[in-house]
Amino acid sequence: MLKKFIGCLVGVAVGDALGSLYEGLSSLEFKFEEPKFLRWTDDAHMTIGVAESLIEKRGFDGDHMARTFLKNYEDEPWRGYAYGPPAIFRMIRSGVKWEKAAKTLFNGEGSYGNGGAMRVAPIGLFYHDNPKALREVAEAASGITHAHELGREGAVMQAYAVSLALRSGYKSELDPNDFLDKLIEFTENEIYREKLEMAKRLLDEKSKLRIVSELGNGIEAYNSVPTAIYSSLKGGFEESVCYAIGLGGDTDTIGAMTGAISGARYGIDAIPERWRDKLERGKYIEKLAEKLFFIKVKGE
């Protein structure tokens, strides 16, 4: 279990860093090259914020998590944040309540970008044994920046996928059909249900273009979370993350979310050493995963 916690958070950072080298390419242009150094972006940066806040507060505290995001962003604003989160951080900095800020974006509907889902892995780990709490906390934590139902549901689906992957091989192996069925059962949104049902039908599909056209590879949560869930079924850690990045589009985020699920499924030993050795702040990320594990599982 400890190795799976560590694999999950390191998986986010490795997937993000590898994917960030190919952002915006189409799946046809992809040719993988070994990087010299793995520097991650906002996806891992915000995942670190979620983990730091869960650890410090021994669970979810929205006000504290919002302030942690703000602090991390102000320390390193150059990490490739999109439009929404920095706009919200500025509002919070100027005194707007964190519960209100996200609802003012995109004509008052809130964002359906994948920023809530890309950072949710620590919540999937921490609430892995309580699906009801997992849903509530994933919704509330993504709601700090992503108020739109499709943004929040993307975070719930990604967190639940992480929790299922974490529990696999512990009580049972992970069967792809069964894994997707559990996610379909858990979702409360028709768009995610349809995408996950499509993912089931495409389990043996060879064409990446078909996967991109049916599941998507974009910045919207519903065009990237089902794609990452699907990609995590494409082999071991390395195969699934390379598959995800090879789809093109929002590669850092789809890579990060695939890395979270596959890392939770296979554990840290399955992540190639040549990537772990080059990972920016790798030891710190491992330490966060350990702390999360000891608080959760050992009550320390």
Q: Which residues bind ligand R7I (CB under 6 A)?
A: 41-43, 80, 82-85, 106, 109, 111-115, 118, 148, 219, 250, 252-253
Strand partners, 172: 168
Residue number, 113 or 282, with CB nearest to ligand R7I: 113
Residue number, 46 or 65, with CB nearest to Mg ion: 46
Task: Residue 72: count other Cβ atoms within 10 Å of its Cβ.
Answer: 19
What is the sign of the dihedral through the CA atoms of 82, 230, 243 and 234?
positive
Residue number, 43 or 153, with CB nearest to Mg ion: 43
CB 110 to Mg ion: min, Å: 19
Angstrom distance (rounded) from CA 79 to CA 48: 13
Strand partners, 168: 172
Residue number, 43 or 128, with CB nearest to Mg ion: 43
Angstrom distance (rounded) from CA 68 to CA 170: 33
Angstrom distance (rounded) from CA 19 to CA 85: 20
Residue-by-residue DSSP string for 196-224 = HHHHHHTTT---HHHHHHHH--SSBGGGT
Which one of 34-42, 46-54, 131-139, 146-154 is the stretch in contact with Mg ion (CB under 5 A)?
Answer: 34-42
Pick from 186, 145, 197, 140: which is nearest to 162 by CA? 186
CB 64 to ligand R7I: min, Å: 20
Angstrom distance (rounded) from CA 40 to CA 23: 12
Using DSSP's 3-state secondary structure scheme, residue 22 falls into coil
Q: Among 42, 52, 214, 286, which residue sits at the site for Mg ion (rule: CB under 5 A)?
A: 42
CB 5 to Mg ion: min, Å: 22
214 touches which of ligand R7I, Mg ion, none (CB within 5 to 8 A by kind)?
none
Binding mask 222-261 for Mg ion (x = CB under 5 A): ----------------------------x-xx--------
Residue number, 163 or 224, with CB nearest to ligand R7I: 224
Q: What residues make contact with Mg ion under the rule CB under 5 A?
A: 41-43, 80, 250, 252-253
